[in-house]
Amino acid sequence: MHALPPPSAPAPSVRGSPAGHPAGVQQPTPPGANASPAMGSVNAGTSAYSPPPGIANVQLPVPSPPGMAATLPPPPLVAQSSASELSSQDLRTVLSSPDPVGTLCALLRLDDKYRSLFHEQEVDLGVLLGLGDADLRELGVTAFGPRRKLVQAIQELARYAAAPKQE
C-alpha cells in the first residue's frame, strides 16, 4: 500500500490535474472554474470563450443560409491614380514626337524590347491609340506590368488626343 504525503507537503500535480489527484489523470473542470490556459477557457454562466494566451481571437466567416445572398458593404471609395502617371506635358510630348511609340515606351520606362516589338509590327500612333489588352497580348506583350502600363497610357493618350484643345 502506498503512503500518502504528509498534509503539510503539497501533492505533485500535472497541468489540468488538481493537487491531490494522481499525476497524468486529468480531472474535469468544476463549474465556474477556468480550464487549462493551454486549452482556452469559458467563464461560468456565459458563453464567452477566451482563447489561450498567444492565440489571436479570429472570427471565421459564417456562410449565408441557402437562398439568401450575403450582403457586404461597398468597398470604401479610394481615388484611383493612373499606373502610367503621365502628365499633360508627357502626353503632349508623345503626341508631338516624330517617334510617339518609342517616346511613350521611354516615358513608361519600358524595356527597349517593347519599342522594338512595336516598330517590327509597324505600330504607329494611329494604331497604338486603338490597341487594347487583347491586342497587346497578341503582339507579344505578355508581362502583366508593362501591358497594364501600356493599356492605361494608351487610354490617357486617346482621351487627351480627343479632348478639344484650348488655345
Reference 2, options 23, 28, 31; nearest CA is 23
**Secondary structure of residue 100 in the 3-state scheme:** helix
In the predicted structure, residue 53 carries a pLDDT above the cut 80: no
Residue 42: per-residue pLDDT? 55
Per-domain residue ranges of the chain: 88-162
CATH architecture entry for 88-162: Orthogonal Bundle (1.10)
Strand partners, 41: 50
Enumerate residues 6+ apart whose C-beta is below 8 A from 53.
37
Whole-number Å distance between alpha carbons of 129 and 71? 40
pLDDT in tens, 57-91: 556 566 666 665 556 565 554 444 444 578 999 99
Q: What is the 3-state secondary structure (H, E, C) of 7-29?
A: CCCCCCCCCCCCCCCCCCCCCCC
Q: What is the pTM of this model?
A: 0.50
Read off φ and ψ for residue 152, nearest 5 degrees. -70, -40
